[in-house]
Amino acid sequence: MTALEAFIEKLDALARDATAAFESATTAEELEQARVEFLGARQGRLKAIQKGMGRLDRSERPAAGKKLNEVKRQIDSAFQAARAALGKEQAGPAVRSPFDPTLPGDRPRLGHVHPITQTIEVLKEIMGRLGFSVAEGPEIEDEWHNFEALNIPAAHPARDPLENFYIDAGPSQRAERCHETADRSQDGDLLSDFYRATAEARAGAPLLLRSQTSTVQIRVMEQTAPPIRIISLGRVYRPDTADATHYPLFHQMEGLLVDRQVTMADLKSVLRMFATSYLGEDVHVRFRPSFFPFTEPSVEADFWWNDEWVEFGGAGMVDPNVLRAVGYDPETVSGFAFGLGVERLCMRRHQITDIREFYRNDVRFLRQF
Protein backbone atom coordinates (compact mmCIF):
# COMPACT_ATOMS: atom_id res chain seq x y z
CA MET A 1 0.00 0.00 0.00
CA THR A 2 1.45 3.33 -0.95
CA ALA A 3 1.47 6.20 1.47
CA LEU A 4 -1.20 7.87 -0.63
CA GLU A 5 -3.42 4.80 -0.51
CA ALA A 6 -3.02 4.63 3.26
CA PHE A 7 -3.88 8.35 3.50
CA ILE A 8 -7.00 7.88 1.40
CA GLU A 9 -8.11 4.87 3.44
CA LYS A 10 -7.72 6.86 6.67
CA LEU A 11 -9.89 9.61 5.20
CA ASP A 12 -12.60 7.15 4.11
CA ALA A 13 -12.58 5.54 7.55
CA LEU A 14 -12.88 8.97 9.14
CA ALA A 15 -15.82 9.83 6.89
CA ARG A 16 -17.63 6.62 7.96
CA ASP A 17 -16.90 7.20 11.65
CA ALA A 18 -17.99 10.82 11.46
CA THR A 19 -21.23 10.01 9.65
CA ALA A 20 -22.03 7.29 12.19
CA ALA A 21 -21.25 9.58 15.11
CA PHE A 22 -23.43 12.37 13.71
CA GLU A 23 -26.33 10.03 13.04
CA SER A 24 -26.23 8.52 16.50
CA ALA A 25 -26.26 11.90 18.25
CA THR A 26 -29.66 12.32 19.96
CA THR A 27 -29.20 15.82 21.35
CA ALA A 28 -27.71 19.06 20.10
CA GLU A 29 -24.92 18.71 22.69
CA GLU A 30 -23.96 15.23 21.49
CA LEU A 31 -23.94 16.43 17.92
CA GLU A 32 -21.74 19.38 18.81
CA GLN A 33 -19.31 17.09 20.62
CA ALA A 34 -19.07 14.92 17.50
CA ARG A 35 -18.55 17.97 15.34
CA VAL A 36 -15.63 19.13 17.49
CA GLU A 37 -14.19 15.60 17.50
CA PHE A 38 -14.14 15.32 13.71
CA LEU A 39 -14.16 18.84 12.33
CA GLY A 40 -12.55 20.79 15.17
CA ALA A 41 -10.18 23.42 13.71
CA ARG A 42 -7.33 22.63 16.10
CA GLN A 43 -7.79 19.20 17.69
CA GLY A 44 -10.20 17.66 15.17
CA ARG A 45 -9.47 14.26 13.70
CA LEU A 46 -9.73 15.58 10.13
CA LYS A 47 -7.19 18.26 11.04
CA ALA A 48 -4.89 15.57 12.42
CA ILE A 49 -5.01 13.62 9.14
CA GLN A 50 -4.51 16.81 7.17
CA LYS A 51 -1.34 17.46 9.16
CA GLY A 52 -0.01 14.09 7.99
CA MET A 53 -0.25 15.26 4.40
CA GLY A 54 3.17 16.90 4.77
CA ARG A 55 4.76 13.46 5.00
CA LEU A 56 3.49 12.47 1.53
CA ASP A 57 5.58 12.70 -1.57
CA ARG A 58 5.22 16.00 -3.41
CA SER A 59 3.77 14.23 -6.43
CA GLU A 60 1.07 12.59 -4.27
CA ARG A 61 -0.06 15.79 -2.65
CA PRO A 62 -2.50 17.13 -5.30
CA ALA A 63 -4.46 13.86 -5.26
CA ALA A 64 -4.36 13.76 -1.46
CA GLY A 65 -5.52 17.40 -1.26
CA LYS A 66 -8.39 16.67 -3.61
CA LYS A 67 -9.46 13.66 -1.54
CA LEU A 68 -9.15 15.64 1.67
CA ASN A 69 -11.46 18.33 0.33
CA GLU A 70 -13.96 15.70 -0.83
CA VAL A 71 -14.05 14.01 2.53
CA LYS A 72 -14.27 17.32 4.35
CA ARG A 73 -17.35 18.21 2.27
CA GLN A 74 -18.77 14.74 2.88
CA ILE A 75 -18.35 15.03 6.65
CA ASP A 76 -19.70 18.61 6.57
CA SER A 77 -22.83 17.58 4.75
CA ALA A 78 -23.30 14.57 7.08
CA PHE A 79 -23.12 17.01 9.95
CA GLN A 80 -25.64 19.40 8.31
CA ALA A 81 -28.02 16.53 7.64
CA ALA A 82 -27.76 15.28 11.22
CA ARG A 83 -28.32 18.76 12.57
CA ALA A 84 -31.38 19.27 10.35
CA ALA A 85 -32.85 15.92 11.42
CA LEU A 86 -32.26 16.67 15.09
CA GLY A 87 -33.57 20.20 14.68
CA LYS A 88 -36.84 18.95 13.23
CA GLU A 89 -37.38 16.50 16.05
CA GLN A 90 -36.50 18.98 18.75
CA ALA A 91 -37.89 22.05 17.13
CA GLY A 92 -41.35 20.46 17.37
CA PRO A 93 -41.78 20.27 21.13
CA ALA A 94 -39.32 23.05 21.92
CA VAL A 95 -40.98 25.67 19.72
CA ARG A 96 -44.64 24.70 20.17
CA SER A 97 -46.47 27.05 22.48
CA PRO A 98 -48.48 25.43 25.28
CA PHE A 99 -51.38 27.64 24.18
CA ASP A 100 -52.78 27.02 20.73
CA PRO A 101 -55.02 29.94 19.76
CA THR A 102 -56.41 28.05 16.80
CA LEU A 103 -58.13 25.40 18.96
CA PRO A 104 -61.90 25.94 19.44
CA GLY A 105 -61.70 26.01 23.26
CA ASP A 106 -64.40 25.68 25.92
CA ARG A 107 -67.06 28.34 25.73
CA PRO A 108 -67.95 29.76 29.14
CA ARG A 109 -71.62 29.05 29.74
CA LEU A 110 -73.48 32.34 30.00
CA GLY A 111 -76.30 32.68 32.44
CA HIS A 112 -79.49 34.25 31.18
CA VAL A 113 -82.70 35.86 32.25
CA HIS A 114 -85.32 33.67 33.99
CA PRO A 115 -88.37 32.94 31.80
CA ILE A 116 -90.67 34.79 34.21
CA THR A 117 -88.46 37.87 34.11
CA GLN A 118 -88.33 37.61 30.32
CA THR A 119 -92.13 37.47 30.22
CA ILE A 120 -92.37 40.49 32.53
CA GLU A 121 -90.07 42.44 30.20
CA VAL A 122 -92.25 41.57 27.20
CA LEU A 123 -95.43 42.55 29.06
CA LYS A 124 -93.94 45.89 30.10
CA GLU A 125 -92.94 46.53 26.53
CA ILE A 126 -96.38 45.77 25.10
CA MET A 127 -98.25 47.77 27.72
CA GLY A 128 -95.72 50.59 27.37
CA ARG A 129 -96.70 50.90 23.74
CA LEU A 130 -100.33 51.21 24.85
CA GLY A 131 -99.33 54.12 27.07
CA PHE A 132 -99.15 52.35 30.45
CA SER A 133 -96.22 53.18 32.70
CA VAL A 134 -94.85 50.84 35.34
CA ALA A 135 -95.65 51.33 39.03
CA GLU A 136 -94.34 49.36 41.97
CA GLY A 137 -95.46 48.60 45.48
CA PRO A 138 -94.10 46.73 48.51
CA GLU A 139 -94.52 42.98 48.92
CA ILE A 140 -95.15 43.42 52.65
CA GLU A 141 -98.47 45.20 52.88
CA ASP A 142 -100.96 46.41 55.42
CA GLU A 143 -104.58 45.40 55.44
CA TRP A 144 -105.65 48.80 54.16
CA HIS A 145 -103.93 48.37 50.78
CA ASN A 146 -104.46 44.64 50.46
CA PHE A 147 -108.13 44.62 51.57
CA GLU A 148 -109.85 47.61 53.06
CA ALA A 149 -109.28 50.23 50.39
CA LEU A 150 -110.14 47.52 47.84
CA ASN A 151 -113.60 47.25 49.36
CA ILE A 152 -112.86 43.91 51.05
CA PRO A 153 -114.50 44.26 54.50
CA ALA A 154 -113.17 42.67 57.70
CA ALA A 155 -115.59 39.75 57.60
CA HIS A 156 -114.72 38.80 54.01
CA PRO A 157 -113.42 35.22 53.65
CA ALA A 158 -110.45 36.48 51.55
CA ARG A 159 -109.06 37.98 54.78
CA ASP A 160 -109.02 34.65 56.61
CA PRO A 161 -105.60 34.13 58.24
CA LEU A 162 -105.56 30.69 56.61
CA GLU A 163 -105.83 32.31 53.17
CA ASN A 164 -102.95 34.76 53.72
CA PHE A 165 -99.37 35.01 54.93
CA TYR A 166 -99.71 37.39 57.87
CA ILE A 167 -96.44 38.69 59.26
CA ASP A 168 -95.67 38.35 62.90
CA ALA A 169 -94.41 41.91 63.44
CA GLY A 170 -94.57 43.69 66.78
CA PRO A 171 -96.88 46.77 67.09
CA SER A 172 -93.97 49.26 67.21
CA GLN A 173 -92.45 47.92 63.99
CA ARG A 174 -95.81 48.18 62.32
CA ALA A 175 -96.34 51.74 63.45
CA GLU A 176 -92.85 52.70 62.34
CA ARG A 177 -93.38 51.29 58.89
CA CYS A 178 -96.70 53.06 58.45
CA HIS A 179 -95.16 56.40 59.48
CA GLU A 180 -92.37 55.82 57.04
CA THR A 181 -94.83 55.47 54.19
CA ALA A 182 -96.70 58.52 55.44
CA ASP A 183 -93.49 60.57 55.49
CA ARG A 184 -92.68 59.58 51.96
CA SER A 185 -95.98 61.02 50.76
CA GLN A 186 -95.33 64.47 52.26
CA ASP A 187 -93.44 66.04 49.38
CA GLY A 188 -96.04 68.30 47.98
CA ASP A 189 -98.55 66.19 46.05
CA LEU A 190 -102.22 67.02 46.15
CA LEU A 191 -103.37 63.96 48.03
CA SER A 192 -100.69 63.83 50.67
CA ASP A 193 -102.89 65.17 53.47
CA PHE A 194 -105.50 62.59 52.75
CA TYR A 195 -102.81 59.92 52.47
CA ARG A 196 -101.14 60.88 55.76
CA ALA A 197 -104.44 60.79 57.57
CA THR A 198 -105.27 57.31 56.37
CA ALA A 199 -101.70 56.12 57.01
CA GLU A 200 -101.90 57.31 60.58
CA ALA A 201 -105.23 55.64 61.07
CA ARG A 202 -103.60 52.44 59.89
CA ALA A 203 -100.59 52.59 62.23
CA GLY A 204 -100.57 49.45 64.33
CA ALA A 205 -102.52 47.40 61.82
CA PRO A 206 -101.30 43.87 60.98
CA LEU A 207 -99.01 43.27 58.00
CA LEU A 208 -99.06 40.49 55.43
CA LEU A 209 -97.40 39.41 52.21
CA ARG A 210 -99.60 40.92 49.52
CA SER A 211 -102.00 38.39 48.01
CA GLN A 212 -102.61 40.45 44.86
CA THR A 213 -101.04 43.33 42.96
CA SER A 214 -104.31 45.28 43.26
CA THR A 215 -102.60 46.86 46.30
CA VAL A 216 -100.62 48.95 43.85
CA GLN A 217 -103.81 50.44 42.39
CA ILE A 218 -104.50 51.93 45.81
CA ARG A 219 -100.93 53.11 46.37
CA VAL A 220 -100.82 54.87 43.01
CA MET A 221 -104.26 56.49 43.31
CA GLU A 222 -103.49 57.65 46.86
CA GLN A 223 -100.49 59.54 45.59
CA THR A 224 -101.55 60.67 42.13
CA ALA A 225 -104.49 62.61 40.76
CA PRO A 226 -106.28 61.16 37.71
CA PRO A 227 -105.83 60.50 34.82
CA ILE A 228 -103.91 57.30 35.59
CA ARG A 229 -102.65 54.64 33.26
CA ILE A 230 -100.31 52.14 34.96
CA ILE A 231 -99.37 48.52 35.14
CA SER A 232 -97.67 46.83 38.05
CA LEU A 233 -95.84 43.55 37.83
CA GLY A 234 -94.63 41.61 40.80
CA ARG A 235 -94.82 38.74 43.24
CA VAL A 236 -97.90 37.84 45.21
CA TYR A 237 -98.26 35.20 47.92
CA ARG A 238 -101.01 32.78 48.90
CA PRO A 239 -100.76 29.75 51.15
CA ASP A 240 -101.72 27.30 48.41
CA THR A 241 -100.35 23.77 48.30
CA ALA A 242 -97.99 23.54 45.35
CA ASP A 243 -99.21 21.46 42.41
CA ALA A 244 -99.00 21.73 38.63
CA THR A 245 -101.11 24.92 38.56
CA HIS A 246 -100.58 26.41 42.05
CA TYR A 247 -97.60 27.75 43.88
CA PRO A 248 -97.52 29.80 47.10
CA LEU A 249 -95.67 32.53 45.23
CA PHE A 250 -96.52 33.74 41.76
CA HIS A 251 -96.53 36.91 39.66
CA GLN A 252 -99.36 39.13 38.53
CA MET A 253 -99.67 41.97 36.10
CA GLU A 254 -102.11 44.56 37.36
CA GLY A 255 -103.49 47.19 35.03
CA LEU A 256 -105.31 50.36 36.02
CA LEU A 257 -106.73 53.13 33.91
CA VAL A 258 -108.69 55.99 35.49
CA ASP A 259 -109.98 58.99 33.58
CA ARG A 260 -113.20 60.68 32.63
CA GLN A 261 -115.76 58.46 30.88
CA VAL A 262 -113.83 55.20 30.83
CA THR A 263 -116.00 52.24 29.83
CA MET A 264 -115.97 48.45 29.57
CA ALA A 265 -115.34 48.88 25.83
CA ASP A 266 -112.01 50.52 26.65
CA LEU A 267 -111.14 47.61 28.92
CA LYS A 268 -111.97 45.08 26.23
CA SER A 269 -109.99 46.95 23.56
CA VAL A 270 -106.91 47.19 25.76
CA LEU A 271 -107.07 43.49 26.68
CA ARG A 272 -107.56 42.53 23.09
CA MET A 273 -104.66 44.66 21.86
CA PHE A 274 -102.53 43.26 24.64
CA ALA A 275 -103.40 39.63 23.86
CA THR A 276 -102.90 40.15 20.13
CA SER A 277 -99.43 41.59 20.73
CA TYR A 278 -98.42 38.95 23.23
CA LEU A 279 -99.73 35.93 21.37
CA GLY A 280 -98.82 37.26 17.94
CA GLU A 281 -102.15 36.66 16.25
CA ASP A 282 -105.57 38.26 16.15
CA VAL A 283 -106.97 37.18 19.52
CA HIS A 284 -110.60 37.46 20.56
CA VAL A 285 -111.53 38.38 24.10
CA ARG A 286 -114.57 37.08 25.94
CA PHE A 287 -115.99 38.47 29.19
CA ARG A 288 -117.82 36.20 31.63
CA PRO A 289 -119.66 37.75 34.59
CA SER A 290 -117.74 37.40 37.83
CA PHE A 291 -117.31 39.09 41.18
CA PHE A 292 -114.50 41.04 42.77
CA PRO A 293 -115.14 43.41 45.69
CA PHE A 294 -113.08 46.15 44.03
CA THR A 295 -114.72 46.13 40.59
CA GLU A 296 -118.31 46.56 39.53
CA PRO A 297 -119.24 45.08 37.14
CA SER A 298 -116.60 42.34 37.35
CA VAL A 299 -115.60 39.87 34.67
CA GLU A 300 -113.35 36.94 33.97
CA ALA A 301 -111.45 37.60 30.74
CA ASP A 302 -110.84 34.69 28.36
CA PHE A 303 -108.72 34.71 25.20
CA TRP A 304 -109.57 32.58 22.17
CA TRP A 305 -106.32 30.83 21.40
CA ASN A 306 -105.41 27.58 19.69
CA ASP A 307 -109.09 26.75 19.23
CA GLU A 308 -110.09 27.11 22.84
CA TRP A 309 -111.09 29.76 25.33
CA VAL A 310 -108.26 30.25 27.76
CA GLU A 311 -108.85 31.92 31.11
CA PHE A 312 -106.44 34.76 31.67
CA GLY A 313 -107.60 36.72 34.70
CA GLY A 314 -110.03 39.03 36.40
CA ALA A 315 -111.06 42.51 35.39
CA GLY A 316 -113.80 45.08 35.75
CA MET A 317 -114.74 48.71 36.28
CA VAL A 318 -113.18 50.17 39.41
CA ASP A 319 -115.82 50.09 42.17
CA PRO A 320 -116.98 53.58 43.29
CA ASN A 321 -116.13 52.57 46.86
CA VAL A 322 -112.49 52.12 45.83
CA LEU A 323 -112.44 55.50 44.09
CA ARG A 324 -113.88 57.08 47.23
CA ALA A 325 -111.34 55.25 49.47
CA VAL A 326 -108.49 57.00 47.67
CA GLY A 327 -110.23 60.38 47.65
CA TYR A 328 -111.45 60.36 44.05
CA ASP A 329 -114.92 61.49 43.04
CA PRO A 330 -116.78 58.58 41.39
CA GLU A 331 -119.15 61.12 39.82
CA THR A 332 -116.38 62.65 37.70
CA VAL A 333 -113.93 59.81 37.06
CA SER A 334 -114.24 56.15 36.27
CA GLY A 335 -111.75 53.45 35.45
CA PHE A 336 -111.04 49.84 34.70
CA ALA A 337 -108.63 47.40 36.30
CA PHE A 338 -107.41 43.95 35.46
CA GLY A 339 -105.15 41.36 37.00
CA LEU A 340 -103.43 38.60 35.00
CA GLY A 341 -101.22 35.72 36.11
CA VAL A 342 -97.74 36.08 34.59
CA GLU A 343 -96.87 32.38 35.06
CA ARG A 344 -100.01 31.38 33.23
CA LEU A 345 -99.17 33.57 30.24
CA CYS A 346 -95.61 32.28 30.12
CA MET A 347 -96.75 28.65 30.47
CA ARG A 348 -99.26 29.01 27.65
CA ARG A 349 -96.76 30.56 25.33
CA HIS A 350 -94.01 28.00 25.96
CA GLN A 351 -96.23 24.94 26.54
CA ILE A 352 -95.01 24.54 30.11
CA THR A 353 -97.33 22.25 32.02
CA ASP A 354 -96.10 22.56 35.59
CA ILE A 355 -95.76 25.91 37.39
CA ARG A 356 -93.31 24.36 39.88
CA GLU A 357 -90.65 24.17 37.14
CA PHE A 358 -90.17 27.94 37.40
CA TYR A 359 -89.05 27.65 41.00
CA ARG A 360 -87.06 24.40 41.01
CA ASN A 361 -84.04 26.20 39.57
CA ASP A 362 -83.10 23.23 37.46
CA VAL A 363 -80.83 24.77 34.82
CA ARG A 364 -81.75 22.05 32.33
CA PHE A 365 -85.28 23.48 32.37
CA LEU A 366 -84.34 27.15 32.58
CA ARG A 367 -81.73 26.94 29.83
CA GLN A 368 -84.45 26.23 27.25
CA PHE A 369 -85.83 29.76 27.27
Which pairing describes strands 295-305 and 207-209: parallel, antiparallel, or unpaired? unpaired
| Interacting residues toward ligand PHE by CB under 6 A | 212, 214, 254, 292, 295, 313-316, 337-339
Q: Give whichever of 234 and 339 is closer to ligand PHE, judged by the CB atom.
A: 339
Minimum CB separation of residue 323 from ligand PHE in Å reads: 13
Helices H / strands E in the chain, number of each: 14, 10
Distances (CA, A) of 366 to 111, 203, 221: 10, 42, 37
Q: Give whichever of 78 and 220 is closer to ligand PHE, judged by the CB atom.
A: 220
Nearest position to ligand PHE, beta carbon:
339
Distances (CA, A) of 363 to 27, 109, 247, 347, 367: 54, 11, 19, 17, 6
Minimum CB separation of residue 350 from ligand PHE in Å reads: 23
Between CA 363 and CA 369 the distance in angstroms is 10
DSSP state of 143: H
DSSP state of 42: T
Q: Give whichever of 19 and 295 is closer to ligand PHE, judged by the CB atom.
A: 295
Residue 237 CB contacts under 8 Å (≥ 6 apart), including other chains: 139, 164, 165, 209, 210, 211, 248, 249
Between CA 240 and CA 22 the distance in angstroms is 87
* 288 DSSP β-pair partners: 300
Minimum CB separation of residue 112 from ligand PHE in Å reads: 29
Between CA 239 and CA 260 the distance in angstroms is 38
Minimum CB separation of residue 189 from ligand PHE in Å reads: 24
Of 201, 151, 163, 208, the residue nearest 179 (C-alpha): 201
Identify residue 26 by its one-letter amino acid code: T
Between CA 278 and CA 233 the distance in angstroms is 16
DSSP state of 191: T
Minimum CB separation of residue 193 from ligand PHE in Å reads: 27
Question: Angle at CA 138, nearest 5°, toward 133 and 140?
Answer: 155
Minimum CB separation of residue 161 from ligand PHE in Å reads: 18
Which pairing describes strands 228-237 and 207-209: parallel, antiparallel, or unpaired? unpaired
Which pairing describes strands 133-134 and 228-237: parallel, antiparallel, or unpaired? parallel
Q: Give whichever of 115 and 314 is closer to ligand PHE, judged by the CB atom.
A: 314
Minimum CB separation of residue 166 from ligand PHE in Å reads: 18
Q: Give whichever of 199 and 231 is closer to ligand PHE, judged by the CB atom.
A: 231
Q: Give whichever of 226 and 316 is closer to ligand PHE, judged by the CB atom.
A: 316
Q: Give whichever of 185 and 295 is closer to ligand PHE, judged by the CB atom.
A: 295
Q: Give whichever of 234 and 313 is closer to ligand PHE, judged by the CB atom.
A: 313
Q: Give whichever of 234 and 316 is closer to ligand PHE, judged by the CB atom.
A: 316
Minimum CB separation of residue 238 from ligand PHE in Å reads: 9
Minimum CB separation of residue 337 from ligand PHE in Å reads: 4
